[in-house]
Structure 1
Amino acid sequence: MRTFLAIAAMAAGMAAPAHAQATEGWSGQVTPYIWGAGFSGEVRPVAGGPVFEVKESVFEVLDDLEGAFFLTGLARRGDLVIVGDISWSSSSRTESPGQGLPPVKGSVDSLFATVVAGRRIQAQSDQTIDFLAGVRVWDIDATADVQGLPLSASRSVSLIDPVIAVRFNRQHTNGFSTIAYGDIGGFGVGADFSAQAAVTVNYAINEQAYVSGGYRYVHLDYEKRGARIDIRFSGPLLGFTWRFD
């Protein structure tokens, strides 16, 4: 139970393909996607408390999942690029602590969003590099309720981190492209350190529609008043992109 609540305290994915040619007006794209992430790490829920090692596969995570929403998007005008990503999930689990004690239900709602903007450089005719900076927001609400008794506890964590990022896009033949994205953030402003990375292979169905498959990694290291979360999420992703001018 404590493992689940601690993990859930972490509530990704700049995986949308980008068109390589510059345009005078605004262009954009949106990508809903699914992310099958397992996790591992260490959590100390309160100051002076024990450190819990946490680890669950994607299948164990899916057992607890009640709902999730993942969306990323990109807007561009000339060499100005704006990239955003939002991830939301809601999970719960009921466990019995044993020794005749009533079961406890833990619930977690997590919202994670990143917005970065910067300049695109045309490295080669088929390659672009985006240098970006922005913010990442974490909003996590966790509750624990003792079944059959009027006992409950809750905790909320909200963080805003500065972020710097690089995004690389390369066009291949036959409608394929590759994207690599990486960022780091926190720097002690919100989290002590946070990072994410994603690599995708994309295929153009036509000029407006793409499908993407790849892998994503997210790391959060946060410590305040003796409580600590140091956790890593990683797993495959699959998305569908709609591009518009």
Structure 2
Amino acid sequence: MKLSMALASALAAGLLITSPVRAADITSPMAPELKQTEGEGWTFAVSPYFWAAGMSGDTGLFGLPTVHLDMDFSDILNELDFAAMAIGEARYDRYSIFTDIMYTKISSGSGTPRGIIADHVGVTSETFAGLVGAGYSVLQDDRGNLDLVAGARVWHASTEISFSGGILDGVSREDSATWVDGLAGVRAKYSITDKVYFTGWGLVGAGGADLDWDVAGGIGYEFNDRFSAVAGYRALGVDYSSDGFVMDVVQQGPIFGVVMHF
């Protein structure tokens, strides 16, 4: 039960997932990198992605002492109800507008040893992280680009603990937090061949959290002008605490995505 509540707490703090990953589940302004297309006017790209992230760090709810977490992705996946992640970008010449959305919901429960205070305790956690930003290419040619980017990420995490049976039958308690962080950094793409390209990004900032950062790198393959795929590695960290709600965690793991251009 301690593990379930700890997992729920961490996920709730906003991290990580929505394709499977964990609370915090979570975001970066561009996972995976979106391919540029030649031509005049606006171009657009959408990329649903999957992040198989584990989590380590400290979390706390209801003002109770913090709990240290050290979980791999399989631990998180066992209690995951739903997860979804997607990113979109609109680009015009050197200018770009992008968004990265992550949502996850996990639940767990267990019986109590004696069943006096309660027969069963359930924990449900939901986490949303949404990033909106803009970028400008300071370097750009036919093989790639280097963009300076800035934006804001909104986090919302909530965890509900409910009791059934025993003295606490029907009792439930919820703890939640919402905050906004400003982020700035770079992202880049470089075509190694006509089909294979490297992509990566790095962001850091703060606001409601003392620290919010996100880095990743990956290799992409272009099947045609409309579709490509990216595989790489991503790490994201957030250090937030307020009114007894604590989330000081790092999430990291492989990331996979399909990019659709139009």
**Counterpart secondary structure, 2:78:** helix
Task: Name the CA distance, whole Å, in 2 between partners of 1:182 and 1:236.
Answer: 16
Which segment is superposed worse, 98-107 or 201-210?
98-107
- Return the match for 1:210 from 219, 222, 228: 228
Task: Name the CA distance, whole Å, in 2 between partners of 1:45 and 1:80.
Answer: 41
Aligned to 2:20: none
CA contact (8 A) 1:117 1:132 kept: yes
Task: Name the CA distance, whole Å, in 1 between partners of 2:59 and 2:151.
Answer: 27
Number of matched residues?
Answer: 241
User: How big is the shift at 1:43?
Assistant: 1.9
Task: For residues 144-179 of structure 1, give each alpha carbon's deviation from its aligned partner in whole angstroms, at most 9, with x where no partner exists.
Answer: 111231111012211111111210110111400111
Task: Name the CA distance, whole Å, in 2 between partners of 1:17 and 1:95.
Answer: 41
User: How big is the shift at 1:111?
Assistant: 0.8
1:59 and 2:77 aligned: no
Task: For residues 158-205 of structure 1, give each alpha carbon's deviation from its aligned partner in whole angstroms, at most 9, with x where no partner exists.
Answer: 11111112101101114001111111122xx31111111121211000
Aligned to 2:202: 182
Aligned 1:20-35 pairs, distance under 5 A: 20=36, 23-35=39-51
CA contact (8 A) 1:86 1:114 kept: yes
Task: For residues 30-53 of structure 1, give each alpha carbon's deviation from its aligned partner in whole angstroms, at most 9, with x where no partner exists.
Answer: 001111111010123344x42311
User: How big is the shift at 1:114?
Assistant: 0.8
User: How big is the shift at 1:19?
Assistant: 3.7
Aligned to 1:147: 164
- Where structure 1 has 5 or more consecutive residues not aligned to the other structure, the ranges are none
- Return the match for 2:8 from 5, 10, 34: 5
1:165 and 2:185 aligned: yes
| More strand as a share of residues | 1
CA contact (8 A) 2:7 2:76 kept: no
Aligned to 2:122: 105
CA RMSD in angstroms comes to 1.8
Provide the TM-score with structure 2 as the length reference: 0.85
1:241 and 2:259 aligned: yes
User: How big is the shift at 1:217?
Assistant: 1.0
In structure 1, give the amino acid aligned to 2:175.
Answer: R
Task: Name the CA distance, whole Å, in 2 between partners of 1:8 and 1:123.
Answer: 38
User: How big is the shift at 1:124?
Assistant: 5.1
In structure 2, give the amino acid aligned to 1:139.
Answer: H
Task: For residues 114-137 of structure 1, give each alpha carbon's deviation from its aligned partner in whole angstroms, at most 9, with x where no partner exists.
Answer: 111021123554231110111001
Task: Name the CA distance, whole Å, in 2 between partners of 1:103 and 1:122.
Answer: 58
Which segment is superposed worse, 7-16 or 34-43?
7-16
- Where structure 2 has 5 or more consecutive residues not aligned to the other structure, the ranges are 14-23
Aligned 1:25-104 pairs, distance under 5 A: 25-47=41-63, 49-100=64-115, 101-104=118-121
CA contact (8 A) 1:31 1:71 kept: yes
Which segment is superposed worse, 208-217 or 101-110?
101-110
Aligned 1:127-142 pairs, distance under 5 A: 127-142=144-159
